[in-house]
């Protein structure tokens, strides 16, 4: 059976949910019959199980993508690729509530305040890349002399492998799939083990929109088997990954086997720096949202917050009051509850991992910890209240490692020189935020901070038309915007000689 019936009573939806690998526009069982269970993070209860791709299944999916590329997609016009993406955007919009609800069930993200936002972003970016398909600048001509010129083409790679994480299951898939298809590639994508069902469900919309078989293939599976097989496959031309820096490093090694092109979007320890002249209420709101939204499971979460010493106490007291008002499990411990803004974290593994940082900070480093709510009693869900640590020394593990949970870390600084030194004191370089009303301070910070994104008087405020990606160990390459097309094209140069055979 390739479909199961599941219901979400909170929103009144019933689904005929595909549980097979999506290859050549059909759902199929894995060759060895292995399945993965997926659970509801707010209760710990099993939702369903779906087939897990083996190495042999990855091979079948790559062959499907190769045939689709060579025989169909590479001769499909950019305008037609755009039309299909526009149709897809319509279908996603039609089904956005059902898709968002599935995302909430499987990942725990609050339906009203998170999952529906993700869907709005996905619809917007699908239209963006639909439009880009035929508007993207696909080349240039360089006159060399009277008789010679060169034509530079931006051509697709061919077959692209993609490996995505669980914090934004459909959004991370869409950040990768839509631009890649618009640029003319075919895809084999592996979702994360604990959040595969929403993408399997959305794959049906690609069929309905008219995408030919093999253009998009979705192969859920384990990282160590399916992920490794995809990243090392000799017929995959490019691999794009979002997830931990450790796995990013492995993917880079595996990709070396046939010198695949790579895009890596890895971890972060993104600083937010608050100067005394900033609009403090504004800073408090952006920073609390920047660490507690999606329960802190954001690669760009501002988990290090540096505050100028003269406003440090005031900032913390405002932060505490705002967090108390805004960030709540709601009354029912259910992310479908309208009042719920802080859902459970994704899994028991992540729950324990986050708590190990909290325990370490409080017990081993004897740091001062505060929270605005208790851990819920009588729940098997993975709920963690908003937590923050104050007066944290720069040497603390909490200031060095990615926690990936609702845990903020506050430290103070004296002046600009100290602030920028602290902000850059990290192996990561994904994002940063600065709060100030002084144009020179802002200008210096933009120039000096070593990060792929700088938010000025805001934080975690993504725009799909703006390139996104990291410096240092946060990654390689960019997604979104026209960079989201560049990442999926390579340059070909043709030297044209029109001289009289001299």
Ligand X SMILES: NC(=O)C1=CN([C@@H]2O[C@H](COP(=O)(O)OP(=O)(O)OC[C@H]3O[C@@H](n4cnc5c(N)ncnc54)[C@H](O)[C@@H]3O)[C@@H](O)[C@H]2O)C=CC1
Catalytic residues: 265
Q: Pick from 22, 129, 168, 428: which binds ligand BAL (CB under 6 A)?
A: 168
474 is a contact residue toward ligand BAL (CB under 6 A):
no
Nearest to 346 by CA among 475, 194, 208: 194
227 is a contact residue toward ligand X (CB under 6 A):
yes
298 is a contact residue toward ligand BAL (CB under 6 A):
yes
- The DSSP string of 120-165 is HHHHHHHHHHHHHHHHS--EEEEE-SSSEEEEEEEEE-SEEEEE--
413 is a contact residue toward ligand X (CB under 6 A):
no
User: Could you tell me how many residues make up the chain?
Assistant: 502
Cβ burial 402-426 (10 Å sphere, 16+ → b, else e): bbbbbbbbbbbbeebeebbebbbeb
Least distance between ligand BAL and beta carbon 463 (Å): 12
Q: Which two tokens stand for residue 19?
A: 């549980």
For 68, list phi and psi in degrees, rounded to 5: -65, -40
Binding mask 324-363 for ligand X (x = CB under 6 A): --------------------------x--x----------
Between 448 and 462, name the residue whose CB sits nearer to ligand BAL. Answer: 462
For 253, list phi and psi in degrees, rounded to 5: -65, -45
Place of tokens 């309208």: 338
Question: Bridge-partner residues for 409, per DSSP?
Answer: 304, 389
Binding mask 373-412 for ligand X (x = CB under 6 A): -----------------------------x-x--------
Between 117 and 204, name the residue whose CB sits nearer to ligand BAL. Answer: 117
Which partner in ligand X, ligand BAL, none is near 189 (CB below 5 to 8 A by kind)? none
231 is a contact residue toward ligand X (CB under 6 A):
yes
Between 221 and 296, name the residue whose CB sits nearer to ligand BAL. Answer: 296
Q: Determine the distance from the C-alpha atom of residue 451 to the mean position of all C-alpha atoms in its chain, rounded to a whole number.
A: 17
C-beta separation of 274 from 287 below 8 A: yes
Least distance between ligand BAL and beta carbon 457 (Å): 19
Least distance between ligand X and beta carbon 179 (Å): 17
Segment lying near ligand BAL (by CB under 6 A), choices 51-59, 99-107, 293-301, 303-311: 293-301
For 29, list phi and psi in degrees, rounded to 5: -75, 155
Between 251 and 283, name the residue whose CB sits nearer to ligand X. Answer: 251
Which partner in ligand BAL, ligand X, none is near 69 (CB below 5 to 8 A by kind)? none
Least distance between ligand BAL and beta carbon 500 (Å): 57
C-beta separation of 15 from 24 below 8 A: no
In terms of Cβ atoms closer than 10 Å to its own Cβ (0-12, 13-18, 19+), residue 7 is exposed
Q: Pick from 199, 236, 266, 284: which binds ligand X (CB under 6 A)?
A: 266
How far apart are the C-alpha atoms of 25 and 207, rounded to whole Å? 6
Segment lying near ligand BAL (by CB under 6 A), choices 295-303, 344-352, 384-392, 420-428: 295-303
243 is a contact residue toward ligand X (CB under 6 A):
yes
C-beta separation of 98 from 111 below 8 A: no
Between 73 and 293, name the residue whose CB sits nearer to ligand BAL. Answer: 293
54 is a contact residue toward ligand BAL (CB under 6 A):
no
Q: Pick from 299, 346, 398, 409: which binds ligand BAL (CB under 6 A)?
A: 299
Between 42 and 167, name the residue whose CB sits nearer to ligand X. Answer: 167
Q: Pick from 156, 161, 267, 290: which binds ligand X (CB under 6 A)?
A: 267
For 67, list phi and psi in degrees, rounded to 5: -65, -40
DSSP collapsed to 3 states, 51-82: ECCCHHHHHHHHHHHHHHHHHCHHHCCHHHHH
**DSSP H helical segments within 163-311, as ranges?**
169-182, 197-209, 228-232, 245-255, 280-292
Between 104 and 300, name the residue whose CB sits nearer to ligand BAL. Answer: 300
Residues 158-217 that bind ligand X (CB under 6 A): 163-165, 167, 190, 192-193
Binding mask 111-150 for ligand X (x = CB under 6 A): ----------------------------------------
Q: Determine the distance from the C-alpha atom of residue 123 to the mean position of all C-alpha atoms in its chain, rounded to a whole number.
A: 16
436 is a contact residue toward ligand BAL (CB under 6 A):
no
109 is a contact residue toward ligand X (CB under 6 A):
no
Going through 349-405 in order, the beta strands assigned E by DSSP cover 368-371, 387-390
416 contacts: CB under 8 Å, gap ≥ 6? 275, 441, 444, 445
Between 76 and 242, name the residue whose CB sits nearer to ligand X. Answer: 242
How far apart are the C-alpha atoms of 45 and 78, rounded to whole Å? 45
- Residues contributing to the site for ligand X (CB under 6 A): 163-165, 167, 190, 192-193, 223-224, 227-228, 231, 242-244, 247, 250-251, 265-267, 299, 350, 353, 402, 404
């Amino acid at each position: 059976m390739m479909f199961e019936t599941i219901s979400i009573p909170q929103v009144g939806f019933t689904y005929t949910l595909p549980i097979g690998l999506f290859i050549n526009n059909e759902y199929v069982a894995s060759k060895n019959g292995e399945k993965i269970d997926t659970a509801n993070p707010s209760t710990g209860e099993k939702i369903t199980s779906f087939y897990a791709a083996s190495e042999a299944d990855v091979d079948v999916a790559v062959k499907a993508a190769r045939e689709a590329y060579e025989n169909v997609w590479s001769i499909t016009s950019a305008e037609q690729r755009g039309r299909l993406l526009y149709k897809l955007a319509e279908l996603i919009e039609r089904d956005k509530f059902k898709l968002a609800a599935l995302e909430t069930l499987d990942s725990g993200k609050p339906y009203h305040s998170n999952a529906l936002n993700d869907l709005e972003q996905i619809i917007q970016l699908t239209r963006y890349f639909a439009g880009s398909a035929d508007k993207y600048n696909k080349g240039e001509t360089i006159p060399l002399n009277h008789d010679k010129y060169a034509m530079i083409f931006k051509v697709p790679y061919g077959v692209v492998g993609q490996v995505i994480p669980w914090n934004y299951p459909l959004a991370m898939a869409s950040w990768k799939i839509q631009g890649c298809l618009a640029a003319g590639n075919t895809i084999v994508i592996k979702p994360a083990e604990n959040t595969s069902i929403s993408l399997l469900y959305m794959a049906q919309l690609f069929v309905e929109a008219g995408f030919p078989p093999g253009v998009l293939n979705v192969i859920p599976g384990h990282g160590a088997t399916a992920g490794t097989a995809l990243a090392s496959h000799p017929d995959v031309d490019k691999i794009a990954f979002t997830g931990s820096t450790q796995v990013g490093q492995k993917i880079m090694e595996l990709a070396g086997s046939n010198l695949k092109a790579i895009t890596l979007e890895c971890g972060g320890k993104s600083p937010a720096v608050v100067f005394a002249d900033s609009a403090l209420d504004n800073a408090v709101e952006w920073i609390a949202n920047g660490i507690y939204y999606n329960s802190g499971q954001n690669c760009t979460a501002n988990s290090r917050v540096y505050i100028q010493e003269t406003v440090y106490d005031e900032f913390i007291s405002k932060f505490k009051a705002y967090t108390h008002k805004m960030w709540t499990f709601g009354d029912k411990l259910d992310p479908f509850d309208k009042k719920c803004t802080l859902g459970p974290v994704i899994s028991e593994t992540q729950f324990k991992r986050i708590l190990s940082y909290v325990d370490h900070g409080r017990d081993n480093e004897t740091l001062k910890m505060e929270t605005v709510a208790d851990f819920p009693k009588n729940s098997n869900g993975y709920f963690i209240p908003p937590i923050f640590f104050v007066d944290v020394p720069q040497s603390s593990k909490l200031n060095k490692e990615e926690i990936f949970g609702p845990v903020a870390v506050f430290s103070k600084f004296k002046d600009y020189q100290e602030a920028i030194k602290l902000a850059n004191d990290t192996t990561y370089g994904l994002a940063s935020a600065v709060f100030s009303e002084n144009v020179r301070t802002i200008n210096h910070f933009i120039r000096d901070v070593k990060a792929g994104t700088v938010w000025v008087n805001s934080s975690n405020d993504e725009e799909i038309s703006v390139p996104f990606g990291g410096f240092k160990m946060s990654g390689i390459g960019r997604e979104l915007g026209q960079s989201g097309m560049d990442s999926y094209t390579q340059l070909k140069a043709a030297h044209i000689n029109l001289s009289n055979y001299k």
